[in-house]
Amino acid sequence: MSTKPIIWITGASSGIGEATAYRFAREQASLILTATRLEQLAKVQQECIRLGARCEVLSCDLSDLSRIDAVTDQALARFGRIDVAFLNAGISQRSKVVDTFPEVHHTIMEINFFSPSMIARRLLPSMIAQGGGTIAVTSSIAGRFGFPLRSSYAASKFALYGFFETLQAEYHGDNIRVVMVCPGRVRTQISFNALEADGTKHGRMDEGQQKGITADKAARKIVRAIKKQKPEVLVGGPELLMVHIKRFLPALSRRLARKVNAT
């Protein structure tokens, strides 16, 4: 990565995206920030500029897949290239399989899977032409094992692993590197904004989320992983142990998953 890379962050108006933007801003990176909430995004932009970054904002609702190619082209045009794309935007879920409306499944897959996979496809030709680039993608420990009230969310995060591990295998020779960001419990608004069975917002901070690590602590680890182009980075607290249990003791992990307090 160059000394002052050009970095595009989606989901940048709050939480991990916001905290990561500030971390890169302190290093005088050039930033492009995308989210739906333009007013909040403008506040993040002002802070990034105060910290020393060049910073542009690009508001977009990434659930509108018809806009993905255009917004990616606009991001590329802001500074002429993108060295790092941190595809962080996402939405969670709090509902059982039978209760969940089909429209909720679609919305979650559109934001969490189709949006980043389409952005990556659009970015690849320019990254290859410039000699390489890094694509960091926010998955979740729910992308490593399923647990209650997360069917669509887990499906979308599992799908990210399949897509981006394939992308990495295909374009490694073109100096394209993928960093899978795998958070556990981080103290953000993700549970507040999570979708209930009928698509309404969950509207409250889950107890487990409240006990999570801070977004800034997560950002420190994520930025370090992106710089080192680590294939995967686990971010969180004791809950990350479940990832290792799933790998080495799968039967135990299934029993434990059934007992997870998912709210």
Q: Helix, strand or coil for residue 185?
A: coil
Q: Is 153 a catalytic residue?
A: yes
Which has the closest alpha carbon to 173: 214, 128, 134, 139? 128
Judge contact between 85 and 12, C-beta under 8 A: no
Give how far Cα 56 sits from Cα of 25, 41, 176, Å. 12, 10, 24
Rounded Cα distance, 59 and 71, in Å: 9
Which has the closest alpha carbon to 19: 226, 210, 218, 236? 218
Judge contact between 146 and 242, C-beta under 8 A: no
Q: Helix, strand or coil for residue 1?
A: coil
SS3 percent helix, strand, coil of the chain, rounded to 5, is: 50, 15, 30
Rounded Cα distance, 122 and 77, in Å: 13
Write the single-letter amino acid at 194.
A
Considering the candidates 22, 153, 161, 171, report the single residue annotated as catalytic. Answer: 153
Backbone phi, then psi, for 80, in 5-degree steps? 90, -10
Tokens of 8: 């595009």
Tell me which residues are annotated as active site.
153
